[in-house]
Structure 1
Amino acid sequence: MKTVHSPHHVLQNAEAEFIRGRKVPSFEMPRRAELVLERVNAVSLGPVIEPKSFGTDPILKVHDRDFVTFLATAWETWSTENGPIDAFPNAWPPPRSSRVRTNRPGAELGRYCIDLSSPIMAGTWTAATAGADTALTAMEIAAGADKCAFALCRPPGHHAGRDYFGGYCFLNNAAIAAQAWLDRGLDKVAVLDVDYHHGNGTQDIFHDRADVLTVSIHADPQHEYPYYSGYADETGEGEGAGFNLNIPLAWGSDYATYAPALAEALARIAGFGAEALVVSLGVDTFGGDPISRFRLVNADFTTMGRTIASLGIPTLFVMEGGYAVEDIGVNAVNVLTGFEAAR
């Protein structure tokens, strides 16, 4: 399996984030991708390729233009006023408030940012667009004779919605790739999100569409980020009604609980008639993850990969979360080698 990876990911290297009232070292760090890449090479998964550049057109197919313009220019505006320090919002618009644009970068950050985990830095836009290019390049490989590929994206993407960012995510790499696959002539694409946290951004982007089935297996949002979406009764709206499936699981879930959820997800994807699959590959379901509460073990990820392969359709894996850094490479690549062995 070919891996696509950009060295520009290191340009997003936040010093800290705020979680439950505390300023802590950022859990989302360059070492995450470096360890996955080391494992890809250690097991000889396949060649590693740098991405091509696709510009902003594919990004604008799934993200709002004003939002994209904001991300592209936010650092310049922020640093001009505040200097070279990481950019966090200092206000959020409350319900029923005016949406009039302000002249202050901290307030404009609050218009688009949903949390305090995702500071904008000097290299954020370059890193984020390199991640989108990584997903798009890998999609082209999976759409060809290879039938599969791994987009080793960083920063991750599945929490980025049409017009918002957060959860370490700025652009939704999986959604951008899914849309690009449709633009190549497919009629139906599925996105399967196996990250511990709900793929709220992906759901937001496709919630009113019938050409992309979105499926997410994740921790119950009554207890876990992103809290305000990911419930089982969210099934899509308008033309998209019935084309979103959320499978929330309780804290402490192990693979005995996870396996039936994955079987349900794959059955829905097969019934949908998906011609291609994008997997948002988060491995923070691992029992040693510092910010998650599932109990999967290393071998379970191999089983997961084998099970996903049973669909028998072109498949793109897009890297998302996973913060037990010493195990992230083993767990992510176990999914890929399991998939390769079974397909």
Structure 2
Amino acid sequence: MQVFFSETQLRHAPHEFLVRGRWQPCPEKPERATALKAALDAAGHEVREPVRGPDAAIAAIHDARYLAFLEKGHARWRELPGASDLIVPNIHPTRRAAAYPESVVGQAGYHMMDTACPIGAESWPAIRASADAAIAAAELVKAGTRAAYALCRPPGHHAYADMAGGFCYLNNSAIAAQILRGKYDRVAVIDVDLHHGNGTQGIFYARGDVLTVSVHAEPANFYPFFWGYADETGEGAGKGANLNLPLPLGSGDDDFLAALDVGLRKVRDFGAEAIVVALGLDAFQGDPFAGLKVTEGGFNRIAARLGKLDLPSVLVQEGGYLCPELGRNLVAFLEGFNA
């Protein structure tokens, strides 16, 4: 399968993030991507450097003020007396209808929903290159290739149109889906990450042309906490075009596959003509986040189900954190998809 990845994506390397009131080493580190790429190289996949995609592909999903903040906010932040190396918000508006501040401190709170998306001096080039990988894969599929894989890092499915969160800045899966909409009338995003794709859901929640389906760990006691429940089905024109399939913590292969089958029936009933797979490998039983217990063989079976849809497909990397099996899980997934 054609793979897109740029070494520029490694430049985003925040050393820590704030969790449970303490600074901890950030698990979303460059080594995730190097481990995945090494496994792809060993398995014989062609890895291609993406060209810079059109700004319009990103602007079709993301707010202009937000994009300006991501690109230029760090330089403004570092001009503040005593500012840290990383942008980490210390204030958030209580309502999204709040006024838009001029201060970069206020803008950080406005555009960053949590403390798990720090921004460093080299973050923007990496964030942009990650989106470029998704754009390149989507354009290739739009041009007629059956499937392509974007090794996106940093990931994207927690990012809203104007907010970062959960290690995510630009919503690569949503960008890819919107590109496919340029050819196909109905597109589905199928999210198999451990965590609910709340940003993707939010972006398409009031649209009826893009179906969003997410199989994930029950959010009542797991990130993102506030979204991902079964009663969230869309609104307005998007009513019925969002399906959440939360699983009890600790669920394994069979439970995951049973939920996925429900989601795939929805995809067929929706009449999707193309799909984006938001591919998280963090549902693995040995992943550091330890929310679900999917096996290497389980990833192969999940992918086989998705491949049997026989639709033009863009696979976009989301979560999956450092463990010895990370690369093997990706290769198992791609083998299953192509079976």
TM-score w.r.t. the length of structure 2 is: 0.96
Q: Secondary structure at the match of 2:206?
A: coil
Partner of 1:281: 279
Partner of 2:173: 174
Q: Please state if 1:209 is matched with 2:207.
A: yes
- The 1:182/1:100 distance shift into structure 2, 3 A limit, reads closer
Q: Distance in 2 between matches of 1:331 and 1:176?
A: 25
Partner of 1:37: 37
- After TM superposition, list the pairs within 5 Å mapping 1:175-194 onto structure 2: 175-183=174-182, 185-194=183-192
Q: Secondary structure at the match of 1:117?
A: coil
Q: Distance in 1 between matches of 2:61 and 2:122?
A: 22
Residues 196 and 292 in structure 1, CA contact (< 8 A), matched pair in contact too: no
Report the number of matched residues: 338
Q: C-alpha displacement at 1:329, in angstroms?
A: 1.0
- After TM superposition, list the pairs within 5 Å mapping 1:198-237 onto structure 2: 198-237=196-235
Q: Secondary structure at the match of 2:173?
A: helix
Q: Secondary structure at the match of 1:295?
A: coil
Q: Distance in 2 between matches of 1:242 and 1:85?
A: 44
Q: Distance in 2 between matches of 1:217 and 1:233?
A: 14
Q: C-alpha displacement at 1:142, in angstroms?
A: 2.2
Deviations 1:252-302 (A, max 9, x none): 100111111011111111111111110000011001111132011111111
**Which AA in structure 1 matches 2:326?**
I
Partner of 1:6: 6
**Which AA in structure 2 matches 1:124?**
S
Q: Distance in 1 between matches of 2:230 and 2:96?
A: 27
Q: Distance in 2 between matches of 1:69 and 1:24?
A: 28
Identify the match of residue 268 of structure 1 among 266, 269, 288. 266
Residues 288 and 324 in structure 1, CA contact (< 8 A), matched pair in contact too: no
Residues 100 and 107 in structure 2, CA contact (< 8 A), matched pair in contact too: no
- After TM superposition, list the pairs within 5 Å mapping 1:237-316 onto structure 2: 237-316=235-314
Q: Distance in 1 between matches of 2:181 and 2:86?
A: 36
Q: Distance in 1 between matches of 2:176 and 2:89?
A: 29
Q: Please state if 1:68 is matched with 2:67.
A: yes
**Which AA in structure 1 matches 2:11?**
L
- The 1:327/1:100 distance shift into structure 2, 3 A limit, reads same
Partner of 2:94: 94
| Structure 2 gaps, min length 5 | none
Q: Please state if 1:330 is matched with 2:321.
A: no
**Which AA in structure 1 matches 2:318?**
E
- The 1:77/1:329 distance shift into structure 2, 3 A limit, reads same
Q: Secondary structure at the match of 1:192?
A: strand
Q: Distance in 1 between matches of 2:57 and 2:122?
A: 20
Partner of 2:135: 136
Partner of 1:155: 154
Deviations 1:26-51 (A, max 9, x none): 0100010111111111111x211010
Q: Secondary structure at the match of 1:142?
A: helix
| Structure 1 gaps, min length 5 | none
Q: C-alpha displacement at 1:324, in angstroms?
A: 3.5
Q: Distance in 2 between matches of 1:249 and 1:83?
A: 41
Q: Distance in 2 between matches of 1:253 and 1:80?
A: 47
Residues 35 and 326 in structure 1, CA contact (< 8 A), matched pair in contact too: no
- The 1:210/1:100 distance shift into structure 2, 3 A limit, reads closer
Q: Distance in 1 between matches of 2:100 and 2:298?
A: 49
Q: Distance in 2 between matches of 1:145 and 1:164?
A: 33
Q: C-alpha displacement at 1:325, in angstroms?
A: 3.2
**Which AA in structure 2 matches 1:137?**
A
Q: Distance in 1 between matches of 2:295 and 2:144?
A: 33
Q: C-alpha displacement at 1:189, in angstroms?
A: 0.6
Q: C-alpha displacement at 1:115, in angstroms?
A: 1.0
Q: Distance in 1 between matches of 2:96 and 2:5?
A: 42
- The 1:221/1:246 distance shift into structure 2, 3 A limit, reads same
**RMSD (CA atoms):** 1.4
- Aligned-residue sequence identity (percent) comes to 41
Deviations 1:49-98 (A, max 9, x none): 01011232111111111111111111111112255711111211224884
TM-score w.r.t. the length of structure 1 is: 0.95
Deviations 1:88-142 (A, max 9, x none): 1121122488424142x22220111111111111111111111111001011222
Q: Please state if 1:23 is matched with 2:19.
A: no
Q: Secondary structure at the match of 1:93?
A: coil
**Which AA in structure 2 matches 1:171?**
L
